[in-house]
Amino acid sequence: MTEKFVLREAARPFLTDTVYKRQKHPFMAPFELKGRMRQMVEDTLRGPVLGWLPFFDRAKVLHMLDNVPEGGPELRGPHFATPMVLTSICVLHERYKIA
């Protein structure tokens, strides 16, 4: 049950033991919920699309959004991940009808 076993085996001749045996490290893109990014999130989640999605409680989403602090990567966590996931779902639904 090694993560990415086939990829590791294929690349084995080119990897050091340290790289070959280490656990997977997720890449986290830098993210700041401020400025234009915050405005896009606010506009999307306060817009009509969220109301079209029956599996979200609009009042709770807006309450959460009202309590998200403005800041940079030092405040990373659920305050930032949740609004971004919800924004992504709204955009996917609006543009492609797949959420």
**Secondary structure of the chain as H, E, C letters:** CCCCHHHHHHHHHHCCHHHHHCCCCCCCCCCCECHHHHHHHHHHHHCCHHHHCCCCCHHHHHHHHHCCCCECHHHCCHHHHHHHHHHHHHHHHHHHCCC
- Confidence band for 76, pLDDT divided at 50, 70 and 90: low
Q: What is the mean pLDDT of residues 6-21?
A: 93
Residue 30 belongs to some domain of the structure: no
Residue 12, in any domain of the structure: no
Q: Looking at the domain assignment, is residue 16 inside a domain? A: no
Residue 17 lies in a domain: no
User: Domain total for the chain?
Assistant: 1
**Full-prediction pTM beyond 0.75?**
no
70 and 28 in contact (C-beta within 8 Å)? no
Handedness of CA 25, 29, 31, 37 (dihedral sign): negative
Is pLDDT at 70 greater than 90 in this prediction? no
Residue 42 inside a domain? The answer is: yes
56 in a domain, yes or no? yes
Indicate whether 5 belongs to any domain. no
Lowest mean pLDDT segment, chosen from 16-20, 64-68, 77-81: 77-81
Summarize pLDDT for 84-98 with one digit per residue, the tens. 889 999 999 999 987
Q: Mean pLDDT score of the chain, rounded to an integer?
A: 85
Tell me if 78 is assigned to some domain: yes
Residues of the domain holding 58: 35-96
